[in-house]
A and B are shown apart, each in its own frame.
Chain A
Amino acid sequence: MQLEPIISANWKLDNSFSLETYEGQGGYQALRKALGMEKDTIVDEVKKSNLRGRGGAGFPTGLKWSFLPRESDVPKYLVVNADEGEPGTWKDRWIMELDPHRLIEGCLITAHTLNLRATYIYIRGEMRLGAERLEQAIREAYAKGYAGENVMGSGMTHDIYVHRGAGAYICGEETALIESLEGKAGQPRLKPPFPAVVGVFGCPTVVNNVETIAWVPTIIERGGEWFAAAGSERNGGPKLVQIAGQVKNPGVYEAPNGISLRDAIFSPEFGGGMRDGKEIKAVVPGGLSCPLLLPEELDVGMDFDQMAAAGTMAGTGGIMVIDQDTCMVRMAARTAHFYAHESCGQCTPCREGTGWVARIIDKIEAGLGEESDLQLLLDICDNVQGNTICPLGDAMAMPIRSYVQKFEEEFRRHIEEGCCSYPEW
């Protein structure tokens, strides 16, 4: 078990979000160190660290950075994806509200490493406190000479801006986010070109998640090898795990990468097991878009590779624990409605498929389902997945398929009995 908190170490301190507190804990020393390091060395350290994108996709951060052209006639940008919207996920909000300087220090180190002109932190519009804390932290950093012109006397100029989203889950997808940052509706772009080549304002752009960037100071401070060793194979570092649902101690926990899902849910220092003496029925392991796991499938490490091998995804590390009294048809319906609501409408399979699936499951939940609906649901999922510009359609199809397949009997019972026998929500 990870005993020493790092990324969450400051959360319980008074005024944890202030520059004074952050510097009192050694904050901005990593930036000072990085400014004296060769840029290629930093990229190598990040590659060695096995840090992978903590927004859910798990792409190796060092590799992503190396795609950015070294020389560019136009400015290069960092865009921090703070549009945390995946149900079951709220770690980035905590970082921004409780320790915004850690994110800002990470941005500045990244900017130095990749010669970036400015950072735009694209934060969910709903997170007003997070945006205010970031704005305040940025003002403090400018006043201290850590951001703006001639950062720490190094000659580097870097501006940091907070950009608020306005309520659209799809803007968590990096190209939709870029469209939105350019003042448009958040509809994903075709790739290629990738943002590293043509990103925001037509310029090379690196898009990283909040937690990903917030780990960069630690990698500078302790080295890539240390970070890699603190994780599991090919999955560097500790990670933030969120546990929601019907457990005793829901919350955000800093845990070793690769911690078993069962330990995260049941051990007393994390989820603490089921509340009210209930039995566990299923787990959504990494945010709403991840296929379900059954109670007998929980002995799997929560890193990107082990979870993929188990037929699901580590995603954002947002675990939702479901107890015996929860209707899985209703859970599936609510899941499908989320994606139907959030589909941007650009691609037909997603626009039509998400709503169609939601309506069929509503019908089954209402006791009006037909035998043929189960196969129809699977067929629609097959026709949505992989047939759209971005993965939002996949994010509906993957969990819904797992609900129908793993809880087929429960779906059938709704159809045969013509009703739902679970207590009302």
Chain B
Amino acid sequence: MTSEVTTPVQKVEFSAEAEATYQDILRRYPTTRAALLPVLFLAQEQFGYLSVDVMNYVAERMDLPPSKVLQVATFYTMFKKRPSGEYHIEVCTSVPCCMMGGYNIVRLIEQKLGIKCGETTADRRFSLAQSECLAACGNGPVMQVDSIYYERLTPELIDEILEHLP
């Protein structure tokens, strides 16, 4: 497999802590393969995203064909195949949130950060994406920043949230 993005040379190996979690994950399932999704999450957490090298490492560790790992990593939207910003913002633009102004929120954040959905700011602080339903439909419009919910969004609230991230 060839990589689409140039990856900095890094030794791909679980940290001691990740290794312990990896062993713990394997114990939860009767087959090794069943652990693939949690292991990919674990790898993504340590390495930031799933580069080809990371996927190959996971394949080798789990004794799976690299193609199977690639298939799973590309099927699910939460597995990142490219580096993203320090904060990953996902704005819900599914039907209930659209009705409550979800697209306004997208436009506003795009304007504020100077990037489009799918892009990352030059300082690598923020990346932005649209998401499908985040299951908070009564409190639209809704977004998640690294899986933390922010609900009933308004322009003022967006300013406040973006400025107060640590």
B78 adjacent to A126 (CB under 8 Å):
yes
Asked if B157 lies at the interface with its beta carbon under 8 angstroms from chain A, I say no
Asked if A246 lies at the interface with its beta carbon under 8 angstroms from chain B, I say yes
In residues 90-146 of chain A, which contact B (Cβ within 8 Å)?
90, 92-93, 124-129
How many residue-residue contacts, CB under 8 A, span A and B?
145
* Chain A residues closer than 8 Å to B144, beta-carbon distance: 126
A185 adjacent to B71 (CB under 8 Å):
yes
Give the docked Cα–Cα distance between A342 and B76 (Å): 10
In residues 299-332 of chain A, which contact B (Cβ within 8 Å)?
318, 320, 322, 326, 330-331
Give the docked Cα–Cα distance between A45 and B35 (Å): 36
Asked if B94 lies at the interface with its beta carbon under 8 angstroms from chain A, I say yes
Smallest CB–CB gap between B158 and chain A, Å? 17
In residues 150-181 of chain A, which contact B (Cβ within 8 Å)?
161, 163-169, 180-181
Q: Size band of the B side of the interface?
A: 35 or more
* Chain A residues closer than 8 Å to B135, beta-carbon distance: 84-85, 89-90, 92-93, 124, 126-127
Asked if A334 lies at the interface with its beta carbon under 8 angstroms from chain B, I say yes
Asked if A251 lies at the interface with its beta carbon under 8 angstroms from chain B, I say yes
B137 adjacent to A242 (CB under 8 Å):
yes
Smallest CB–CB gap between A2 and chain B, Å? 19
* Chain B residues closer than 8 Å to A251, beta-carbon distance: 138
B96 adjacent to A87 (CB under 8 Å):
yes
* Chain A residues closer than 8 Å to B96, beta-carbon distance: 87-88, 244-245, 320
B31's nearest neighbour on chain A, judged by CB, is A201
B133 adjacent to A86 (CB under 8 Å):
yes
B147 adjacent to A185 (CB under 8 Å):
no
B38 adjacent to A167 (CB under 8 Å):
no
Which residue of A85, A125, A183 is within 8 Å of B133 (Cβ)?
A: A85
B41 adjacent to A166 (CB under 8 Å):
yes
Given A167-B77, A183-B34, CB of A338 within 8 Å of CB of B94: yes
Asked if B28 lies at the interface with its beta carbon under 8 angstroms from chain A, I say yes
Asked if A341 lies at the interface with its beta carbon under 8 angstroms from chain B, I say yes
* Chain B residues closer than 8 Å to A334, beta-carbon distance: 93-95, 98
A165 adjacent to B37 (CB under 8 Å):
yes
* Chain B residues closer than 8 Å to A424, beta-carbon distance: 103
A335 adjacent to B95 (CB under 8 Å):
yes
Which residue of B95, B138, B149 is within 8 Å of A338 (Cβ)?
A: B95
A163 adjacent to B133 (CB under 8 Å):
no
Give the docked Cα–Cα distance between A168 and B77 (Å): 7
B137 adjacent to A320 (CB under 8 Å):
yes
* Chain B residues closer than 8 Å to A408, beta-carbon distance: none
Give the docked Cα–Cα distance between A242 and B36 (Å): 34
Given A85-B132, A245-B96, A341-B132, CB of A182 within 8 Å of CB of B76: no
Asked if A12 lies at the interface with its beta carbon under 8 angstroms from chain B, I say no
7 A-B pairs with least C-beta separation: A167-B77, A183-B36, A166-B76, A167-B78, A250-B138, A128-B147, A244-B137
Give 27 A-B contacts (CB < 8 Å), ordered by A residue: A87-B96, A88-B137, A128-B148, A129-B148, A164-B41, A166-B76, A166-B77, A167-B76, A183-B31, A183-B34, A184-B71, A185-B71, A185-B76, A242-B137, A242-B138, A244-B99, A244-B138, A245-B100, A250-B138, A252-B138, A284-B95, A288-B94, A320-B96, A326-B99, A334-B95, A338-B132, A425-B101
B interface residues with partner A (beta carbon < 8 Å): 28-31, 33-38, 40-41, 68, 71-72, 75-79, 93-96, 98-104, 131-140, 144, 147-149
Beyond A166-B78, A168-B76, A335-B95, 9 additional pairs, beta carbon < 8 A? A84-B135, A90-B136, A163-B28, A166-B41, A167-B77, A183-B31, A244-B99, A250-B138, A424-B103
A interface residues with partner B (beta carbon < 8 Å): 75, 84-90, 92-93, 124-129, 161, 163-169, 180-186, 201, 242-246, 250-252, 284, 288, 318, 320, 322, 326, 330-331, 334-335, 338, 341-342, 344, 424-425
